């Protein structure tokens, strides 16, 4: 089982709803957060930088396929998911609503590790993610 967190904003490269980390970085850049929230969110993002490989470092050709692919957590990645929910709480405190979708098949997998997969979504999933707007 795979889990994806997404917000209502459309991400330019993938052309579907932006993921958790895009939303968190946008909040850090565009909003004056109280110091305690800024510090908490920055610490969470730093933790992910250290404990989550960037699947985009492993892009395959054609590049367009990787750029329009989506990252999914594995349901077994409990520590990563717990910290992701902490990010969700901060985002929602600032009216950035985050949804989750759970799937057994996230699409054509082009990168995977023990925590996540990067997958190009099947056409039916891409249509469903675009419809959430």
Residue with tokens 């990010």: 87
pLDDT at 127: 61
14 vs 37, higher pLDDT: 37
**What average pLDDT does range 11-35 have in this prediction?**
85
**Residue 3 reports pLDDT greater than 70:** yes
This prediction has a pTM of: 0.84
pLDDT at 68: 75
60 vs 98, higher pLDDT: 98
**What average pLDDT does range 29-50 have in this prediction?**
95
**What average pLDDT does range 7-13 have in this prediction?**
74
**What average pLDDT does range 34-59 have in this prediction?**
90
Residue with tokens 């990787």: 66
What is the per-residue pLDDT across 53-80, written as a single tens digit (0 to 9) for each? 887 666 555 556 666 788 999 999 999 9
Q: How confident is the model at residue 31 (pLDDT cuts 50, 70, 90)?
A: confident
Count the Cβ atoms, other than its own, within 10 Å of residue 20. Answer: 21
User: b/e per residue, 69-85, with b = 16+ CB within 10 A?
Assistant: bbbbbbeebeebbebbe
Q: Length of the chain, please? A: 133
40's tokens: 């908490």
For residue 120, give the nearest of 54, 63, 57, 53 by alpha carbon.
63
**How large a percentage of the chain has pLDDT more than 70?**
79
């Amino acid at each position: 089982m795979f889990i994806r967190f997404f917000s209502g904003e459309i991400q330019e490269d993938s052309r579907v709803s932006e993921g958790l980390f895009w939303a968190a970085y946008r909040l850090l850049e565009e909003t004056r957060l109280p110091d305690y929230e800024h510090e908490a969110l920055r610490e969470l993002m730093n933790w992910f930088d250290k404990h989550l490989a960037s699947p985009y470092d492993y892009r395959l050709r054609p590049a367009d396929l990787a750029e329009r692919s989506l990252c999914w957590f594995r349901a077994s990645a409990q520590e990563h998911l717990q910290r992701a929910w902490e990010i969700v709480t901060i985002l929602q405190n600032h009216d950035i609503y985050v949804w989750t979708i759970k799937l057994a098949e996230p699409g054509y997998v082009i990168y995977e590790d023990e925590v996540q997969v990067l997958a190009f979504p099947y056409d039916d999933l891409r249509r469903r993610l675009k419809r959430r707007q």
